[in-house]
Amino acid sequence: MSAPEAAPRGIYWLASYPKSGNTWFRVLINNLLADGPAPVSINALDHGSISSARSWLDGLLGYASANLSADEIDRLRPALYRWSLRRPGIVHHKTHEAWTQTVDGEPLLCRQATLGAVYLLRNPLDVAVSAAAHWRCSIDAAIERMGAPDAALSNTRTSLRPHVRQRLLSWSQHICSWTDTPDLNCLVLRYEDLLADTAAQFGRASAHLGLPSDPARIARAVQHSRFDELARQEREQGFRERPPDAQRFFRAGRRGGWRQQLTPAQVARLIADHGALMQRHGYVDCSGEPCD
């Protein structure tokens, strides 16, 4: 008789470039797990951490990451995620980071501890509009950042942030870092497809993540995570994850909003910067024209 197969243990990453639907996806997961009669509160989103959350990392380290430089912290991080393997079971953590290596050449998010990922992808024309509102900068500045190969979040040397430095790279590099790394077990999910058929796409992702995926339960989670519900909750209670400078977190939650917001020059710049990846994921056609 063969020994029973050991229960899987490790991390599934919920990975995305900022403003690509990650928070909505976590709302869906929370509603799926709660499976309650009413929607979960957007201010009580639980289940898993964020790869860069300083208080979580400090708790595992046993000393203050504030006393280390960003590169020094990164060198220690693979061991912190590897620590997850000590406990049986699967955990799901959010990340906005690109899949990168430490200065020692080790995958930052720890290859050994990583079971896989769901990578959420959104039309960069819409990301630029949403990110500008989120970062409280001009659309041009957001486009600049999306094209910068050295872009990073919480990248300051002169103050302490609740998150450690997160390397984004450019929007195109961010995607490739996850989708082109061999054997990462990465399911790519387009935000637009998730919007168009939430139940089918979320069901597919849930199955990939080792979460419950029976259709009735998925349908309830989808119903409790409708955009008008999230916007209503934010209007009534506020949202603790909204950045201090942004006016609202759940803004439009739709596709194609860029048509009213971007100038032709801004569209051209994004397509010039990211055309190859946009074509690969169906955001521009083979002549370089936007599909949406």
Partner 1 sequence: MLRAAYGLRFDSALPLPELLPTDGLAADADVQVRFGNVDEAGLAGGTQVGPFAWASPDALWLQVPRIARYLVRRGCEIVIDPAPGIDDDSLRLFLLGSCVGALLFQRGLLVLHGNAVQIGEHCLVCVGPSGAGKSTLAAAFLRRGYPVIADDVTPVDQHGRVLAGIPRIKLWQDSASALSINTEPLRRIRPVLEKFDVPVPAPPGDTAVPLRWVYLLQPENRADVAIEAVPGLQRFMPLRDNTYRQNFLAGMGLGSEHLALIGRLASQVRLSRLRRPTAGFTVEAMVDAILDDVAAHP
Name the residues that contact partner 1, by CB under 8 A: 54-55, 58-67, 69, 72, 75-76, 79-80, 82-83, 156-162, 238-240, 242-245
> Which residue, 13, 53, 18, is CA-closest to 29?
13
- In the complex with partner 1, the residue whose CB is nearer, 102 or 279, is 102
Strand segments, DSSP code E, in 164-213 are: 166-167, 186-190
What is the nearest approach in angstroms of partner 1 to the Cβ of residue 63?
4
Residues in the chain: 292
Q: Which amino acid is at 167?
A: R
* Location of structure tokens 């898993």: 48
What is the nearest approach in angstroms of partner 1 to the Cβ of residue 157?
5
Tell me if residue 14 falls in helix, strand or coil. strand
What is the nearest approach in angstroms of partner 1 to the Cβ of residue 131?
18
- In the complex with partner 1, the residue whose CB is nearer, 47 or 163, is 163
What is the nearest approach in angstroms of partner 1 to the Cβ of residue 43?
10
Radius of gyration of the chain from Cα atoms? 19
CA dist., res. 282 & res. 292, Å (int):
9
> Does an H or E element contain 59, and which?
helix 54-61
- In the complex with partner 1, the residue whose CB is nearer, 62 or 264, is 62
What is the nearest approach in angstroms of partner 1 to the Cβ of residue 235?
13
Q: How many CB atoms lie within 10 A of CB 216?
A: 8
Phi first, then psi, for residue 243 (nearest 5°) are -65, 145
- In the complex with partner 1, the residue whose CB is nearer, 245 or 285, is 245
- In the complex with partner 1, the residue whose CB is nearer, 60 or 137, is 60
What is the nearest approach in angstroms of partner 1 to the Cβ of residue 177?
24
- In the complex with partner 1, the residue whose CB is nearer, 37 or 244, is 244
- In the complex with partner 1, the residue whose CB is nearer, 83 or 149, is 83
Tell me if residue 53 falls in helix, strand or coil. strand
CA dist., res. 122 & res. 4, Å (int):
41
Say how far residue 183 (Cα) sits from the centre of its chain. Answer: 19
| Those residues with Cβ within 8 angstroms of residue 200's Cβ, 6 or more apart along the chain or in another chain | none
What is the nearest approach in angstroms of partner 1 to the Cβ of residue 6?
21
